[in-house]
Structure 1
Amino acid sequence: MNNPWNNRRPSARPPRATPPAAPGAPPAAAGVPLRGSDELRLYGVNAVRAMFARRPQALRKLYLAEALIPRLQPLLKWCVANRVGYRVVGEGDLNKLAATTHHEGVVADVLRTEPLSLAAWLATLGDGPALALWLDGVGNPHNFGAILRSAAHFGVAGILLPAESSLSLSGAAARVAEGGAEHVPLVRLPLLPQALAQLRGAGFALAATLVEGGDDLFATPLPARMAYVMGAEGEGMDRTLAQHCELRLSIPGTGAVESLNVAAATAVFLSGWRRRQ
C-alpha cells in the first residue's frame, strides 16, 4: 500500500509489527497485512461504528477511504488520542483488505469477542421473559448476519452455538448484521444433555422450528422464556434434537414455495414470540 500510517500528529503511532501467521493459516494475499489470530477483520460502516460504540478498546487498526473522513471523525479523533494507527487508502486496497467490494469504504482489525459459556450467560440474565436462538447447523455467513440483525431488532438475549459448531462471527456476517452483532452475545453450549439441563433449570423451554408438521406459530401459546432451535440451510434441524423440544412449531403459508430461507423464518419466529410479550 502506498499511503503511510497516519502520523501527522505526535500522538499517532506507527503501525505495529506484523504478527506471524497462526500455525496452519493460509498465507496472506500479496499486499494485504496479516492480523493476529485473536483479531477479526470487520468492514461496513454500521458494523465498524457499532463496534466503536460498544467496545472501542478492541480496535487495533483502521483503514478507510478519503471520502469517509468527515463521516468517521469521532472514530479518527479517538484513534489519534489513543495511539491507534489508521490509514487512508484507495478502493483497490480496501477491496484486498476486505476480500470483497462490499466494504462501504472502511475496514477495521479488532479483537474477537469469545463466546460466553452457557453458565456464564445464564448468570447475566435477570428474571422475566427471555428469548434465545439455538443455531443447529446454520453455516452461511450471510444468513448468520441476517439472523444477528433480526436478533438485535427483537431483543434476543443470546445466540446459542452447539459444542461441535464451527460457526463464528466473520466480517461478512458482521456487515450483513448492520451493527447487530455487537448487541447479541454468542454462547457456546456444552454437550447436549448438560445444555438441556442447564437451560431447563433456568426456566427455558425449547421450540423446534419445522418446515411442516408443527403447531401453527400464530395460534400456539408461547412461554415467556424460550429458545427457538433453528435448523441448517437445506437439511433442517436435527430430528433427535427436535424430540427433546417441548414445542414443535411451523410457519403457516400458502404452500406456493417449499419454505422460507432460515434467516427470513427466524425473523418471523422472533416476531411471533415478541408479539406475545
Structure 2
Amino acid sequence: MSGPWKSRPPRDGRPPSPYGARPSHASQASPADEGAAAPAPPNRRGSEQRLYGLNAVHAVFKARPEAIRKLYLTESRLTALKPLLAWCVKQRVGYRVVEDADLQKLAGSEHHEGVVAEVLRVEPQRLSDWLQALPAGPQLALWLDGVGNPHNFGAILRSAAHFGVSAILLPKQSQLALSGAAARVAEGGAEAVPLVRLGADDNAVAQLHAAGFTLAATVVRDGQDLFATSLPQRLIYVMGAEGEGMAPALAEACDLRLSIPGTGAVESLNVSAATAVFLSRWRGR
C-alpha cells in the first residue's frame, strides 16, 4: 500500500512523543480457592471478568444489573451495598461476605475497596455500528494508539465520562481492554463510555472523515497551541502510547497537530493528565 500507511517506521524514526511516559510503578467454593495471586486473576469464563471498587460496582449495578453474576464483599460494606444485595436476593444471584484477604486474592489487588463482582464482559462495538447510531451535532471521541497502562486507561475513562466523550476508539491490533484495575481507577466511568474497535487505520480514518470528524494528533512539540486553536464540533483526539508515541503514519493522516503549552520545566504531561486538558478545552470551546 502506498502513502502514509505503507509501514510503521522503527521507534527511533518517530515524531516527538505524544503525551505520557509510562509510570513506574454464586459458587459455594471458598473465595481463596477461586482467586488467583496478583497481578491479574484469570477469568473462569471468557465472557466474564472480575471488577472491584465501590464506585465501579455501583456503576455496573446502575447501568446493567443483569450482567452481575456473583458478588463478594466484606462485612463493612453491607450497608453501602444494601440495595444491590436486595437485588441479588430477588434475582437469585449469589453473594458472600468474606474477609479482606479473600478479596485481595479475588481482585489480585489490595485496592478492592471491600467489594468484588463477577460480571459479564462488554465487547467493543464495531466502528460502523457506532457511527450509524451516533446522533448529529457536536461529538468528541478519543483514539488511543498504543496506550497500555491500565491505571492510565482508567484515568482516561474517568475524564472521558466527566466531559461527555462519545466513545474510546481502539485500534484493530490493540490489546487494551477493560480490567479490574482500570475500572476501579475509572470510578464508574467505564460504564458511561463505550469502547469501539477499529478496522485498518486507513479505513477507520476514511470512515471518520465521512462522518464529519476532524482528527487531531496530540503531540508534545511543534503542534498548534491547543488554547489558541479553534476546535471543530466533531473531533477525534488521537492519543499516543506512553513513551514511544503514536505511529507516524497515523499522525500524518490527522488533520491537526495540537500541543499543550507549558513552562518547559518538564517534557510533558502524563497521557491521562494531558487527555483531561484536551477534553476540557473542547468542552469549553
TM-score for the superposition, normalised by structure 2: 0.86
Write the distance in 2 (CA, Å) between the matches of 1:237 and 1:34: 31
1:131 and 2:140 aligned? yes
- 1:210-225 matches, within 5 Å, as 210-225=219-234
Corresponding residue number in structure 2 for 1:187 = 196
Corresponding residue number in structure 2 for 1:241 = 250
**CA positional deviation for 1:182:** 0.2
Write the distance in 2 (CA, Å) between the matches of 1:28 and 1:45: 19
Corresponding residue number in structure 1 for 2:112 = 103
**CA positional deviation for 1:17:** 9.1
**CA positional deviation for 1:33:** 9.2
1:29 and 2:16 aligned? no
1:163 and 2:175 aligned? no
- 1:1-277 matches, within 5 Å, as 15=27, 29=36, 35-276=44-285
Write the distance in 1 (CA, Å) between the matches of 2:181 and 2:94: 23
2:214–2:234 contact (8 Å) kept in structure 1: yes
Query: Which ranges of structure 1 fall in alignment gaps of 5 or more residues?
Result: 1-13, 19-26
Query: Which ranges of structure 2 fall in alignment gaps of 5 or more residues?
Result: 1-25
Q: Aligned AA for 2:27?
A: P
Aligned pair in 2 of structure 1 residues 132, 33: CA closer, same or farther (>3 Å)? closer
Secondary structure, counterpart of 2:45 in structure 1: coil
**CA positional deviation for 1:29:** 3.3
**CA positional deviation for 1:37:** 1.2
Write the distance in 2 (CA, Å) between the matches of 1:259 and 1:47: 30
Aligned pair in 2 of structure 1 residues 259, 33: CA closer, same or farther (>3 Å)? closer
**CA positional deviation for 1:16:** 7.8
- If asked which structure has higher relative contact order (CA below 8 Å, sep 6+), I would say 2
Aligned pair in 2 of structure 1 residues 256, 160: CA closer, same or farther (>3 Å)? same
* Matched positions, count: 254
Identity rate of aligned residues, in percent? 69
2:160–2:193 contact (8 Å) kept in structure 1: yes
**CA positional deviation for 1:144:** 0.1
Aligned pair in 2 of structure 1 residues 155, 82: CA closer, same or farther (>3 Å)? same
Displaced runs of 4 or more, over 6 A = none
Secondary structure, counterpart of 1:227 in structure 2: strand
Aligned pair in 2 of structure 1 residues 15, 235: CA closer, same or farther (>3 Å)? same
Secondary structure, counterpart of 1:109 in structure 2: strand
Write the distance in 2 (CA, Å) between the matches of 1:29 and 1:252: 44
Write the distance in 1 (CA, Å) between the matches of 2:238 and 2:69: 35
CA RMSD of aligned residues (A): 1.7
Aligned pair in 2 of structure 1 residues 255, 115: CA closer, same or farther (>3 Å)? same
- Listed one character per residue, the Cα deviations across residues 21-56 of structure 1 (whole Å, up to 9, x for unaligned) are xxxxxx9638x8962111110000000000000000
Write the distance in 1 (CA, Å) between the matches of 2:50 and 2:99: 17
Q: Aligned AA for 1:29?
A: A
TM-score for the superposition, normalised by structure 1: 0.89
Write the distance in 2 (CA, Å) between the matches of 1:115 and 1:108: 20
